[in-house]
Amino acid sequence: MSDWHVFADRAALEAALAAEVATRLAQGIAQRGKAHLVVSGGSTPLQLFSLLSQTEIDWAKVVVLLADERRVAVEHQDSNERMVRNVLLSGHAADAEFFSLVTGLDAASVDVSSVSQALLNMPRFDVVILGMGEDAHTASLFPCSEEIAEGLKTDQGALITRPTTAPHQRISLSKQRLQNTEYGVVHIVGEKKRSVAEQAIRCSDELAYPISAFIGDDAGATGFDCWWAP
Average of pLDDT values for 7-15? 98
Confidence at 1, pLDDT banded by 50, 70, 90: low
Q: Residue 82 in contact with residue 46, Cβ under 8 Å?
A: no
pLDDT of 110 strictly over 50: no
User: pLDDT tens-digit profile of 179-225?
Assistant: 999 999 999 999 999 999 999 999 989 999 999 999 987 666 679 99
Average of pLDDT values for 151-164? 96
Neighbours of 49 (CB within 10 A): 21
CATH class of this structure's domain 4-229: alpha beta
Confidence at 76, pLDDT banded by 50, 70, 90: confident
pLDDT of 75 strictly over 90: no
User: pLDDT tens-digit profile of 171-183?
Assistant: 999 999 999 999 9
Q: Where are the domains of the chain?
A: 4-229
pLDDT of 45 strictly over 90: yes
Three-state SS sequence of the chain: CCCEEECCCHHHHHHHHHHHHHHHHHHHHHHHCCEEEEECCCCCCHHHHHHHHCCCCCHHHEEEEECEEECCCCCCCCCHHHHHHHHHCCHHHHHCEEECCCCCCCCCCCCCHHHHHHHHHCCCEEEEEECCCCCCCECCECCCCCCHHHHHHCCCCEEEECCCCCCCCEEEECHHHHHCEEEEEEEEECHHHHHHHHHHHHHCCCCCCHHHHCCCHHHHHHCCEEEEEC
C-alpha–C-alpha distance, residues 174 and 119, integer Å: 10
C-alpha–C-alpha distance, residues 35 and 15, integer Å: 20
Long-range contacts: 173-179, Cβ < 8 Å, 24+?
Answer: 173/38, 173/67, 173/68, 173/119, 173/139, 175/141, 175/151, 175/206, 175/213, 175/214, 177/119, 177/120, 178/38, 178/67, 178/128, 178/130, 178/139, 178/214, 179/213, 179/214, 179/222
pLDDT of residue 105: 54
Confidence at 108, pLDDT banded by 50, 70, 90: very low
Confidence at 102, pLDDT banded by 50, 70, 90: confident
Cα→Cα distances 131→16, 43, 154, 185, 221, Å? 17, 10, 21, 8, 20
